[in-house]
Amino acid sequence: MLITSGVLTIGSYTGYYPQEYPDPMTGKPIGFDMDLINAISQRMRLKPYMVKDKFQLLVNDLQAKRFDVVISAVSITPELQKQVDFIPYFRGGKSLLVPYGNPLHIHAMSDLCGHSVAVKKNSFEQEELQRISSLCTLNQEKALYVTVFSRYKDIVPMMQQKHVDAVYADVPALDYIIKLHPLLFALGMPVIGATAEGIVVPKGDGTLFSALQRALQAVQRDGTYRALIAHWGLYQGDITAPANDTSGS
């Protein structure tokens, strides 16, 4: 049963660019996830109502019936599957952003020694780069220089001004930057660490699960899903397409 009749109440962190983030002009949540859940709501003949929440509280607040579903780039893991049900809708992962044409021939994580690489502050990727930097030194290779950024919009000037040679980050953000600047940037390597992301549904709510699943399948069949993928440039995340390389480096 829905919290409010005729309304799909949706929980989201709305701070994960470009899947769900505030519009710089209006503050309204926008992004691929927002467009997709709006299309799903329309197929279900429900009015979408967004509730912002902290990412780490989303599952608990869903279980507490603060909202009906969650869409917020939540990775499907065995641990979470014990608590909630998932409807897969997207594929996440990580990659390297490099200048178009990849003039420095950075094709894998093992190519980063001797280069300056940007990474989001306080992220898992920052820890990973610091580990690789230590390995560069241990193997007596040229050092890896790690530069951090706080906002994804800082990536473009950092790369254009050649402050860094590459950016290591979640592939949806990199895909969207390439969408906006197709002649400036490209992915340097295949996606690694690919994980399925899912719409989160309360455990055991078969009626809601089936309704959401049918609505998602409808937007996939009629071309809406692919149109949204293209609009945001998130081709690596298209769960209806064959997966790229998911192995680590």
CATH match for 93-192 among 3.40.50.2300, 3.40.50.620, 3.30.70.20, 3.40.190.10: 3.40.190.10
Between 219 and 140, name the one with better pLDDT.
Answer: 219
**What's the whole-model pTM score?**
0.92
Lookup: tokens for 11: 């929980």
Q: What is the pLDDT of residue 101?
A: 97
Q: What is the pLDDT of residue 248?
A: 37
Q: Residue 100: how many CB atoms within 10 A of its CB?
A: 12
Phi, psi (rounded to 5 degrees) for 133: -60, -40
Q: What is the pLDDT of residue 242?
A: 76
Q: Check: CATH 3.40.190.10 for 7-92+194-237?
A: yes
Alpha-carbon dihedral sign for residues 228, 46, 28, 33: negative
Query: 7-92+194-237 and 93-192: same fold?
Result: yes
Q: What is the pLDDT of residue 244?
A: 52
Domain ranges for the chain: 7-92+194-237, 93-192
Phi-psi region of 45 (alpha: psi -120 to 50; beta: other; left: phi over 0): left
Say if residues 87 and 215 touch (Cβ distance below 8 Å). Answer: no
Mean residue pLDDT across the chain:
94
Within 8 A by CB and 6+ apart from 105, the residues are: 111
Average pLDDT over residues 191-207: 96
Q: Which helix (H) or strand (E) holds 147?
A: strand 145-149
Q: How do strand 84-99 and strand 192-202 relate by DSSP bridges?
A: antiparallel
Whether the per-residue pLDDT at 98 is higher than 80: the answer is: yes
Instruction: Please state, in angstroms and rounded to a whole number, the distance separating the CA atoms of residues 109 and 183.
Output: 23
Average pLDDT over residues 24-43: 96
Q: What is the pLDDT of residue 31?
A: 97
Confidence of residue 243 (pLDDT cuts 50, 70, 90): low
Which percentage of the chain shows pLDDT scores above 90? Answer: 92
Average pLDDT over residues 176-182: 97
Closest CA relative to residue 180, chosen from 204, 159, 150, 207? 159
Closest CA relative to residue 164, chosen from 172, 156, 173, 153? 156
Whether the per-residue pLDDT at 212 is higher than 60: the answer is: yes
Average pLDDT over residues 43-71: 97
Confidence of residue 245 (pLDDT cuts 50, 70, 90): very low
Instruction: Please state, in angstroms and rounded to a whole number, the distance separating the CA atoms of residues 110 and 211.
Output: 45
Confidence of residue 229 (pLDDT cuts 50, 70, 90): very high
Within 8 A by CB and 6+ apart from 157, the residues are: none
Say if residues 222 and 130 touch (Cβ distance below 8 Å). Answer: no
Whether the per-residue pLDDT at 247 is higher than 70: the answer is: no
